[in-house]
Structure 1
Amino acid sequence: MRSLFLKIFVSYWLAQALFLVLAILVIFAFRQRGEFSEWQAQQATASQRAADVFEKDGPAEVHRYLEELRESQHVRAYLFDEQGREVSGRAVPRWADSLSRGIRPPPREFWQHMAPSPFRRLPVTSAAGHSYTLAVMLPPGPFGPRGVPGLGILIGIISSGLVCYLLARYLTSPVVRLRAATRRLAEGDLTARAGSAGSRRRDEIAELVRDFDIMAERLETLVKAQSRLLNDISHELRSPLARLNVALGLARQRSGPETQSALERMELESDRLNHLIGSLLTIARLESGADPSRKSVLALGVMVTEIAIDADYEAQARHCHVKPRVVNDCRVWGEGILLHSAIENVVRNGAHYTAEGTAVDVSLEHTGGEAIIRVADSGPGVPEEALEKMFRPFYRVDDARGRETGGVGLGLAITERTVRLHGGTVKAWNRPEGGLTVEIRLPCAPVPEAEAAPALASAGTHQNT
């Protein structure tokens, strides 16, 4: 049993039900002891009178007397003569027949083990000197005619179950909200809060929930401040970088051939810096959330095909190919520029690291309401411990390789944040035959095909790792 709610509910309910049943049994056991004591005081008189009534008035009168005894004292009694015959003419039950012969019947019900035996064998001598035996069974236990009815016990158990259910729900509802808020926070939703409006609870669990909300609010403030700082710095760097590019152009026009090599190097580093700033701005924008007004219905089949064709053209320089395969076309609701860049980052990454002379397979299919894009290359793959880290900002599997290719480790980070912003997931694994597979899953848009907007094939700046 892994649910805290069920543990609390079942344990409290069983405890309440057990307490109810035991209380009933104990109360009736003590009550029955009192009834037994009361009968003990008058049993000699009752047995003597039964014998006298039989000898004086006959079987009919003793039958009436014993029935009156049953109605008034709730005692079942049978009178036997010296030959062992029941003198009132009634049908004799087995327990009465056993008592008349001196055999005490065993307890027939569970409750009888907790109380004195209800059976009594009373020898009596009449005024005429004849011997008789009165077989008696004292009042029944808690589940008999005078006991608690089964419906009463059922109502008691159900009532205690309802109380336990409400108590368990009261205790665990903040924990359930806290768990849901923790998951949302782990998924990147910094607005997640566990507290409920108008809650007046002041216990330890309520204090824990309030502490969590304070922590979440602090985290949201810090992350937003960091994102805002990153965005501001990137914007501030754009202006001097633009002036630097202008200065490089003027210097190239006025300098001689001997300085061209240095100027080209400066221009290359300036382009890398410009690309880095653009990536940082994209990361900051993704962290702050996408603008819903920029979203539309996108046809993924066209977008994936055009990205693969562009990457295939560039990969031919290494005798490689990028092969698109659209199994099922599907549409998604999203921002075209960001999704185009996210998919393109993965495809170009695969085309760059696949072995020379091999192909990169790019497939699109529609399964279970999700669009699944897989990019499989035949490169060296990625160490297992780096498969999760490769989607972090500025993470590079090989720093030396990153410097050679000019990558700064932001391309796949942009992909992961874009996909997550659109409600999807991205993961990677090594292929058994060698190479890496990156899978992107996006929720499909349930709209008619006629509403699908054309893919933005040339939208945005290409982001590479």
Structure 2
Amino acid sequence: MKKLSLRIRYTLITSLFLLISCTALTIISNLSANSVMQAITLSLSVEIGESAQQSPDSSPETSQEPEYISEPAVITTRASYRVFRRESIIATVLIVLIGSAATYAAAGYVLKPIVSLSREVKKRDANNFAQALPLPSSADEVQELTASFNALLAEVKRSFQLQKQFSADAAHELRTPLAVMQTKLDVFAMSGELPPEAQEFAKNLQAQLARLSSLVEDLLWFSRDYPLEPVEPVRLLPLLEDIVEELSDAAREKGIRVELHASDCVVQGQDCLLERAFYNLLENAIKYSPDGTVVELSAAVQEGAAVVRVADQGEGIPEKYREEIFEPFFRVEKSRNRAVGGSGLGLAVCKKILERHRAVIRVLPRHPCGSVFEVTFPS
């Protein structure tokens, strides 16, 4: 059942209060009117009886008990009471209805600043959550609430900026020593005078250093804000062809064939950012696909919007994880992911870049096995 709004609840409570109050007032008024009517009827009856006894024309044989109910004054009194009772009930109903309508209108006017505040809050997302809310002109509690909320947003923004700055600084400081270690290890491995055990050890170190360097690089990408200015037309076909060429060696090592089916689509954005996003998607598909399978990369225009799909023949992603896989460092199967490698930031970086381009990325199942990463750009 849908929860009632604050305006409706306030109106219902006020209407219930009006109904109880008016009903009680009507009952009390009718009881009082009934008492007055009975007193008037009794008084008239006594007066009529006394007049009949004092009449000179009356005789014991002809005198009888007077029919007080047939007297015009008594009938008029009782008729007036019935009219009063009927009109009091009608007035009660009208007061409750008019009061409820007036309460609903007044509640809408009073709650208008809160409704406006709610709409402004709903407009905030991951890209503009720290944007200050407009202060209402009325100097009341709503203005104080908005000011407090803006102060909270400013503090959250500052915390996020400090976190991003720390991540970027840490990753930047790690790049130089990692590059030096990688260079020295490469020279050491190429000396040719190492026993087989040392060569295997050096090879493992090179792989771990490459993985650490990839993590640092992804961390740098993830900590950036990715401004989209200047925006320029980006042709997807040559961009995707370059990515396929760059990852051809990685695909060849696993015996994977990458098939590109793309029309010459054009989107608005920055080619370097889009190249990084689609590079991560294709690299991820190659990394988690079994040896000897096919990875399909396609781009086409559908209903006026450019759509890019990366389809693999891997194990697939369970439905409950299709949103969480874009979170930083999230892994569906930790043991399998450790064996494959990767930083755990590739898809998070990908989603962040695509959101900057106002594109939507989602994961779809592929039959009989595998997953399809679909990216839809705004038309």
TM-score, with structure 1 as normaliser: 0.58
Residue 170 of structure 2 aligns to which amino acid in structure 1?
I
Find the aligned partners of 1:302 and 1:32 in 2 and give their Cα distance: 93
Check if 1:161 corresponds to 2:121. no
Superposed displacement of residue 38, structure 1: 7.4
Superposed, 1:247-326 pairs within 5 Å as 256-258=191-193, 261=199, 270-285=209-224, 289-300=225-236, 303-304=239-240, 307=243, 315=251, 318-325=254-261
- Alpha-carbon displacement from aligned partner over 1:61-115 (angstroms, at most 9, x marks no partner): xxxxxxxxxxxxxxxxxxxxxxxxxxxxxxxxxxxxxxxxx9xxxxxxxxxxxxx
Superposed, 1:167-316 pairs within 5 Å as 167=107, 170=110, 174=114, 177=117, 181=121, 184=124, 187=126, 189-191=128-130, 196-197=135-136, 200-202=139-141, 215-244=152-181, 256-258=191-193, 261=199, 270-285=209-224, 289-300=225-236, 303-304=239-240, 307=243, 315=251
Contact kept in structure 1, 2:18 and 2:99, CA below 8 Å: no
Superposed, 1:33-48 pairs within 5 Å as 33=34, 36=37, 40=41, 41-42=43-44
Aligned residue among 255, 274, 295 for 1:339:
274
Residue 14 of structure 1 aligns to which amino acid in structure 2?
S
Aligned to 1:8: 9
Superposed displacement of residue 188, structure 1: 6.1
Superposed displacement of residue 437, structure 1: 2.5
Check if 1:428 corresponds to 2:366. no
Find the aligned partners of 1:302 and 1:210 in 2 and give their Cα distance: 49
Contact kept in structure 2, 1:312 and 1:320, CA below 8 Å: no
Aligned to 1:377: 312
- Alpha-carbon displacement from aligned partner over 1:273-310 (angstroms, at most 9, x marks no partner): 4433322211110xxx3223133344556655664576
Superposed displacement of residue 322, structure 1: 3.1
Structure 2's unaligned 5+ residue stretches are 52-66
Q: 1:278 to 1:318 in 2, by over 3 A?
A: closer
Moved more, 230-239 or 423-432: 423-432
Q: SS of the residue aligned with 2:373?
A: strand
Find the aligned partners of 1:301 and 1:21 in 2 and give their Cα distance: 76
Contact kept in structure 2, 1:312 and 1:323, CA below 8 Å: no
Contact kept in structure 1, 2:215 and 2:343, CA below 8 Å: yes
Superposed displacement of residue 149, structure 1: 11
TM-score, with structure 2 as normaliser: 0.69
Q: SS of the residue aligned with 1:443?
A: coil
Find the aligned partners of 2:206 and 2:291 in 1 and give their Cα distance: 29
Aligned to 1:409: 344
Q: SS of the residue aligned with 1:439?
A: strand
Aligned to 2:58: none
Instruction: Report sequence identity in percent.
Output: 22
Superposed displacement of residue 242, structure 1: 4.8
Residue 393 of structure 1 aligns to which amino acid in structure 2?
P
Residue 167 of structure 1 aligns to which amino acid in structure 2?
A
Aligned to 1:83: none
Superposed displacement of residue 152, structure 1: 10
Contact kept in structure 2, 1:350 and 1:376, CA below 8 Å: yes
Residue 141 of structure 1 aligns to which amino acid in structure 2?
V
Contact kept in structure 1, 2:15 and 2:100, CA below 8 Å: no
Q: 1:164 to 1:319 in 2, by over 3 A?
A: same
Superposed displacement of residue 380, structure 1: 2.0
Find the aligned partners of 2:170 and 2:188 in 1 and give their Cα distance: 29
Structure 1's unaligned 5+ residue stretches are 50-101, 103-119, 125-132, 445-465
Find the aligned partners of 1:412 and 1:266 in 2 and give their Cα distance: 26
Superposed displacement of residue 414, structure 1: 0.9
Superposed displacement of residue 230, structure 1: 1.2
Superposed displacement of residue 377, structure 1: 1.3
Superposed displacement of residue 6, structure 1: 4.8
Q: Which has the larger radius of gyration?
A: 1
Aligned to 1:359: 294
Moved more, 214-223 or 224-233: 214-223
Residue 11 of structure 1 aligns to which amino acid in structure 2?
L
Matched residues, number: 356
- Greater fraction of residues in helix: 2
Aligned to 1:127: none
Aligned to 1:141: 83
Moved more, 15-24 or 218-227: 15-24
- Alpha-carbon displacement from aligned partner over 1:238-297 (angstroms, at most 9, x marks no partner): 344455566668x569x8421595777766655544433322211110xxx322313334
Check if 1:122 corresponds to 2:62. no
Aligned to 1:54: none
Superposed displacement of residue 358, structure 1: 3.0
Contact kept in structure 1, 2:214 and 2:343, CA below 8 Å: no
Aligned to 1:96: none
Contact kept in structure 2, 1:362 and 1:374, CA below 8 Å: yes
Q: SS of the residue aligned with 1:292?
A: coil
